[in-house]
Structure 1
Amino acid sequence: LKNKFGKEKTIKIHLLEKNPNISDLLNGISDCKINFDSGTNIVIHSEQSELVLLKVLKILNDNSVEIEDLSAVPTNLEEIFLKMVRDNASDY
């Protein structure tokens, strides 16, 4: 399953401080989801996560937004299963 469906990667960026303009700054980037609970977490889900990450990092750097932590998380089997179920449910 991981080889067939697990191409998508997750990258998490934790910003040093809350930035109210972050959603506007990253608006044009596809596959970029922002966690608004704390306002400091950016989560990227994409098969091209490296390319999306480069775009996000450039925008953050150009706007002097400081990053506290960055981590790459491989897609786990639970996420693959949930994605498959969602995709199949939308077919009906």
Structure 2
Amino acid sequence: MKKAEYKIAVGKSGFSSLEEEVTQLLNEGWKPIGGLAFNAGYPYQAMARVVNVTKPSGHSQSQAQASSEAEPTRRQSYGAQDAMRMIDELT
């Protein structure tokens, strides 16, 4: 199973510290979303990635199917590949 993660990188001491943080996140599989934002003199960059999540042991396939069927239809219509495609379109 895959899930999307979102985080905000902040330059605590200006652009150089933001560059270091974004570089580290890029090397961990994160992608920038949109442009820079500024608040109270600090630069920010939104980042996102898709990660694999393992199911807890003891959770049967029928239980997983039943729980996914109980979720709203809107959530079922988007998969991890769809989420990454939408992220790619934003960047």
User: Given the two structures, how large is their TM-score scaled by the length of structure 1?
Assistant: 0.33
1 or 2, which has the higher strand percentage?
Answer: 2
Task: Give the number of the structure with larger relative contact order, counting CA–CA contacts within 8 Å between residues 6 or more apart.
Answer: 1
User: Given the two structures, how large is their TM-score scaled by the length of structure 2?
Assistant: 0.34
Which of 1 and 2 has greater Rg?
2
